[in-house]
């Protein structure tokens, strides 16, 4: 059904839902924000301790409370009603005018017949909950561009062969980031944090509050291989060390 919606229609539905959410939080149920954050923390710590019975209980309680919190939101009910209305509108339209399915392309002519695309599988998938790390054995390098919710991210560059210029871009909500870099690799890093700490090749920042820091090794601009690291965290620590 969503594939048949015009982009503007879907955008309006999202905007109205967000507007209702803001109104609800601001004037009716301010405790929703606390409830969502509390449930998310239970899910995070439950996931971290999943091998213990306490972790399973925390994860279950967090899942139940978060589900009931979402079900009680006016914005959620609006999305349900909007989905039902759009379903019946599309169903009625399809009965009157049967849909003709045909391939749709932005252009019927290739700009360059010699161009060919190769799909590259990313090292990391986008994940809201859970830790992620590179393989402990040798792996082929692909540039990293991910965002996440809760959990730690560990990237070990000693188990791969880097190109002349590699890129790591991570946007994260809550959790820690660790990056291990071989001694022969030059580094440039731009990191921003709302709450957290940083250890960049021995340079310690014990208190980052809504700050950005930037470093690069002395020979970054003239030597290869080199890696450009761009990270942002709402709450968490970053550590970049040699290995």
pLDDT at 2 over 90: no
Residue 187: the pLDDT is 95
Question: Nearest to residue 62, comparing CAs of 25, 37, 79, 84?
Answer: 37
pLDDT at 62 over 70: yes
197 or 47, which is more confident: 197
Mean pLDDT computed over 11-39:
70
CA distance 200 to 191: 10
CA distance 168 to 95: 50
21 or 126, which is more confident: 126
Between β-strands 165-174 and 144-150, what pairing exists: parallel, antiparallel or unpaired?
parallel
Mean pLDDT computed over 102-130:
67
Before 169, cis peptide (omega within 30)?
no
For 235, left (φ over 0), alpha (ψ -120 to 50), or beta? beta
Q: What is the DSSP letter of 49?
A: T
Q: What is the pLDDT of residues 189-223, one digit of tens each?
A: 999 998 888 999 999 988 888 899 999 999 999 99
pLDDT at 67 over 90: no
Its pTM surpasses 0.75: no
Least confident of 26-30, 33-37, 186-190, 213-217: 26-30
Q: What token pair was written down for 141? A: 């390098």
Q: Report yes or no: 192 and 230 within 8 Å, Cβ to Cβ.
A: no
Q: What token pair was written down for 85? A: 């209305």
62 or 6, which is more confident: 62
Q: What token pair was written down for 153? A: 């991210």
pLDDT at 176 over 80: yes
Quickly count: other Cβ atoms within 10 Å of residue 149's Cβ: 17
Residue 101: the pLDDT is 45
């Amino acid at each position: 059904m969503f594939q048949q919606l015009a982009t503007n229609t879907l955008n309006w539905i999202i905007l109205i839902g967000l507007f209702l959410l803001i109104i609800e939080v601001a004037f009716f149920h301010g405790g929703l924000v606390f409830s969502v954050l509390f449930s998310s923390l239970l899910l995070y710590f439950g996931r971290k301790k999943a091998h213990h019975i306490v972790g399973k209980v925390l994860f279950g309680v967090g899942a139940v409370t978060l589900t009931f919190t979402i079900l009680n939101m006016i914005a959620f009910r609006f999305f349900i009603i909007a989905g039902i209305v759009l379903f019946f509108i599309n169903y009625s339209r399809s009965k009157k005018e049967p849909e003709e399915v045909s391939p749709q392309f932005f252009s019927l002519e290739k700009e360059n017949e010699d161009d060919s695309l190769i799909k590259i599988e990313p090292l990391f998938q986008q994940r809201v909950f859970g830790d992620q790390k590179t393989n402990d054995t040798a792996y082929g390098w692909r540039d990293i561009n991910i965002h996440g919710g809760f959990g730690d991210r560990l990237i070990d560059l000693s188990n791969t062969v880097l190109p002349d210029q590699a890129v790591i871009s991570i946007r994260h909500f809550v959790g820690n980031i660790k990056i291990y870099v071989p001694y022969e690799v030059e580094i440039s890093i731009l990191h921003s944090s709302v709450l957290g700490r940083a250890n960049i090749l021995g340079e310690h920042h014990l208190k980052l509050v809504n700050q950005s820091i930037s470093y690069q090794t002395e020979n970054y601009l003239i030597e290869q291989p080199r890696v450009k690291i761009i990270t942002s965290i709402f709450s968490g620590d970053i550590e970049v060390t040699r290995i």
